[in-house]
Amino acid sequence: MNFSVRLGLAIGVLAAFGGVIAFLSLSGDGNTAHAGRTVRWESSRQCQECHQDVYDEWHGSHHQIAFTNPEVRKLSDDFRKEECMDCHLPRPLAVTGFGKRTLPRRTHFDEGVSCISCHLGPDGGILGRNDRPEAPCAPKRSEDFFAVEACASCHNQHWTTDQWRASRYAEEGTTCSDCHMQEVERTRADGSTRMGRSHVWPGGHDKAMLRKAGKFEVSRDGDELVLSLTNVGAGHNFPTEERHRAVDMVYRFLPAGTAPPAAQPAAAQPAAVEAGQPSPSDWTLAWRARQPYRDEATPVGPGAKPQENTQLAADATKTVRVPIPAGTAAVEARLWYRATPFCGDDSPLSTLLEERRIEL
Q: Name residues contacting ligand HEC, limited to 332-351 (CB under 6 A).
A: 339
C-beta of 232: minimal distance to ligand HEC in Å?
A: 9
37-56 residues in contact with ligand HEC (CB under 6 A) are 41, 44, 46-47, 49-51, 54-55
Torsion sign, CA atoms 312, 72, 180, 115: negative
Residue 91 binds to ligand HEC (criterion: CB under 6 A): no
Cβ of 209: how many Cβ atoms within 10 Å?
17
Burial status of residue 143 (CB atoms within 10 A of its CB: 0-12, 13-18, 19 or more): exposed
The answer to the question of residue 292 lying near ligand HEC (CB under 6 A) is: no
Q: Which residue stretch of 114-122, 248-256, 266-274, 317-325 sits at the interface with ligand HEC (rule: CB under 6 A)? A: 114-122
User: Whole-number minimum distance, CB 148 to ligand HEC, in Å?
Assistant: 5
**Considering the complex, what minimum distance in angstroms separates the CB of residue 79 from ligand HEC?**
8
Q: Name which of residues 301 to 330 contact ligand HEC (CB under 6 A).
A: none
Q: What distance in Å separates the CA atoms of residue 336 and residue 251, rounded to the nearest whole number? A: 11
- Where in 200-219 is the site for ligand HEC (CB under 6 A)? 201, 203-205, 209-210, 212-213
Among 144, 149, 217, 242, indicate the residue that binds ligand HEC (CB under 6 A): 242
Cβ–Cβ < 8 Å for 339, 248: no
Contact range with ligand HEC by CB under 6 A, out of 193-201, 221-229, 296-304, 318-326: 193-201
Q: Which of 18, 19, 125, 139 binds ligand HEC (CB under 6 A)?
A: 139
Q: For ligand HEC, which is the closer residue by CB, 42 or 332? A: 42
Task: Kindly state whether residue 96 participates in binding ligand HEC, applying the rule CB under 6 A.
Answer: no
Region for residue 299 given its phi and psi (left: phi exceeds 0; alpha: psi -120 to 50; beta: otherwise): beta
In the complex with ligand HEC, the residue whose CB is nearer, 44 or 328, is 44
| Chosen residue from 14, 15, 22, 148 binding ligand HEC by CB under 6 A | 148
Contact 39, 136 (CB under 8 A): no
Give the binding-site size for ligand HEC (rule: CB under 6 A).
92
230 binds ligand HEC (CB under 6 A): no
Residues sharing a CB contact under 8 Å with residue 326, sequence separation 6 or more, in sequence order: none
* Of the candidates 241, 236, 243, 234, the residue with the CA atom closest to the CA atom of residue 215: 234
Interacting residue with ligand HEC among 40, 101, 215, 356 (CB under 6 A) = 101
With CB under 6 A as the contact rule, the residue among 124, 125, 239, 341 that binds ligand HEC is 239
Long-range contacts of 344-352 (CB under 8 A, 24+ apart): 344/270, 344/271, 344/273, 345/266, 345/267, 345/269, 345/270, 345/271, 345/272, 345/283, 346/266, 346/267, 346/268, 346/269, 346/271, 351/207, 351/210, 352/266
